[in-house]
Chains A and B, each alone.
Chain A
Amino acid sequence: MGSTTGTEYPSMSLSWVTLAVVVVIGIFSLFSLYMGFRAFGSENPENSTYYIIIGTAGFAVIGYMFFRTKAITTTRRKSDAPKVDVVTILECPSCNLKRVRDFKRGDYIYKDDEPCTRCDGTMVITGIHRRAEDKKKA
């Protein structure tokens, strides 16, 4: 798997050409909106509709392009695999005391874990599962 580092596929990310296109569309859209607002008070107010449509369409295109770029950047930065909160349930077989704590590495179901705080028994891990909040997301 020597290809882990270095460029592995051509990139389609935002280049200077795209940036230039965004700037040109922006200027054009701004100008169009300016013309649209001016046309309201002129002899041909119906022209304002055309100008405003062109202007807003231009800004919509820019917005979409930025949205796409942001999505790509976010994906790049958020490289971590999902991590979930996991809890360990402990029960004392002698006095039935039950306790829930965060999972620790080395925990497993039916492991004799820690001394019981109520009696002289040893607490046994009887359950390990994801924290309940996760079910809303799932």
Chain B
Amino acid sequence: MFLQIEQLFQNQSDIGMILQTLFSLSFIIYLFYAQRIQAMSMLRQVEGTLRKVKSLRDEGRSVSIKAVKEVGKQDLDPALDVDRFMDHFFITPVDMDPAGVVQKLGQLLNVRENVWEAEVRAMAPEASDSQVNNLENLLEAALALNIYYKVIRHYYLLGKKTMNIYIIMQIHMILPLIVREIEAYSSALQAFQEGMPIGDGIGPLVAARMMHGYEYEEVAKEMVAAEVPYEGRTLIVIKAKGPGGSVGKPGDAVGNLINGRKGEKKIKAVIMVDAAGKLEGEATGSIAEGIGAAIGGAGVEKYKIEEAVKAHEIPMYAIAIKEDISHVVAPMVEELFKAAEKAVEAIKRMVVERTEEGDVVLVAGIGNTVGIAQ
């Protein structure tokens, strides 16, 4: 048999003809099926990512269950409660008539916050306030991973079902960006499980550096403020109340402090410090100064701050500390940690340059204060 097959290839013209036929055949196949081949190739890449995301989603779920069991000290298995939490959804208010949409969104966010807190307390009744906050953040990270997984799976299955290259391309094109966000959320699991400071906590860290050692009081839900004297001025430094994972209500805190100073000296300037996404090429931990409300999120807190400063014509300055998207909810990197001191110096310089002796300045450290007390 071996010799018979060998005879097939004996003649030079035979092998040349076979090769030519093969090339012609592959050309014709590619002519008609190029798009399908490309679609299959993209689907395969999406599938690989989907496997990874599924693995991370499962990891998020198991870490959450483990953490609830550890903190809650209950005999009941929290798996069903965790699964229910991971499927929570949020419907934003209708914005066809935009008047009052921020208040509506704010009210819905408050409801969600209260419901989540109640759910976590029910899962872990023995947990302290800080532990409840950390568990809530951990479950939020697991929820985000679950949503990413389900959306990618949706496009993958839809693409596979229809073999429509445009459906597949939609998810394939943004896959690298999505993967970065997913990896960031998976890093958050460790941070929230252990209660470590995260990249987003750089704002509260800066505030904590300034207010540590001074008396502080709660000025809004999960927000603390301390009066710090500096170069003849009074700095009112605010941050979310730590060390549990919380962003607090900085909008309410700024509003209460600005509007509540009846009979006292008015606030002359507001300086906000927050982490900001860096562009490729920018160094992690680099500091930039600007104007406006340095705060992310849904926009409700930003709206409240802008309303309060506008009503009193207070200038608002911003300090942004640059970080990569992968650092936002991951344990804080050293470059960011070291940037806190530089940001404190920038604030002090700003206070001296832009205010006068005797002025009152509000300094707000914005972000999640997990692992950072005051």
Contact = CB atoms under 8 A, between A and B. Distances in A.
A81 B63 contact: yes
Nearest to B201: A109
B247 interface: no
A10 B160 CA distance: 9
B194 A105 contact: yes
A101 interface: no
B295 interface: no
A61 interface: no
B186 A81 contact: yes
B172 to A, nearest CB: 15
B195 A105 contact: yes
Interface in B222-281: 242-243
Contacts, number: 131
B353 interface: no
B16 interface: yes
B7 to A, nearest CB: 11
Contacts of B51: 72, 75-76
Contact of A75 (B55, B157, B212, B371): B55
Nearest to A46: B12
B137 interface: no
A9 B157 contact: yes
A128 B338 CA distance: 11
B50 A81 contact: no
B83 A84 contact: no
B146 interface: yes
Contacts of B86: 1
Nearest to A87: B334
Contacts of A6: none
A111 B208 CA distance: 12
Contacts of B52: 75
Nearest to A76: B51
Q: For this complex, into which size category does the number of interface residues on chain A fall?
A: 35 or more
A87 to B, nearest CB: 9
B337 A127 contact: yes
Contacts of B153: 8-9
A17 interface: no
A108 B242 contact: yes
A110 B187 contact: no
Given A47-B12, A51-B15, A108-B195, A130 B56 contact: no
B308 to A, nearest CB: 28
A71 B48 contact: yes
Given A50-B19, A51-B9, A138-B326, A79 B335 contact: no
Contact of B371 (A82, A107, A130): A107
Interface string A109-136: 1110000000000000001111110110
B359 interface: no
Contact of B335 (A4, A80, A127, A135): A135
Contact of B373 (A35, A50, A75, A108): A108
Contacts of A84: 187, 190, 330-331
Interface in B317-334: 324, 326-327, 330-334
What are the nearest 8 A-B pairs in CB distance?
A108-B243, A81-B186, A79-B55, A129-B337, A1-B83, A110-B373, A109-B372, A81-B59
Interface of A: 1-2, 4, 8-10, 12, 31, 35, 44, 46-47, 50-51, 54, 68, 71-72, 75-76, 78-84, 86, 103, 105-111, 127-132, 134-135, 138
Given A50-B16, A54-B19, A79-B58, 13 more contacts: A9-B157, A75-B48, A79-B59, A84-B190, A103-B196, A107-B371, A109-B197, A109-B373, A111-B243, A111-B373, A129-B334, A130-B331, A138-B284
14 contacts: A1-B61, A12-B43, A50-B19, A71-B48, A78-B55, A79-B55, A79-B59, A103-B194, A103-B196, A108-B373, A110-B212, A110-B374, A134-B333, A134-B334
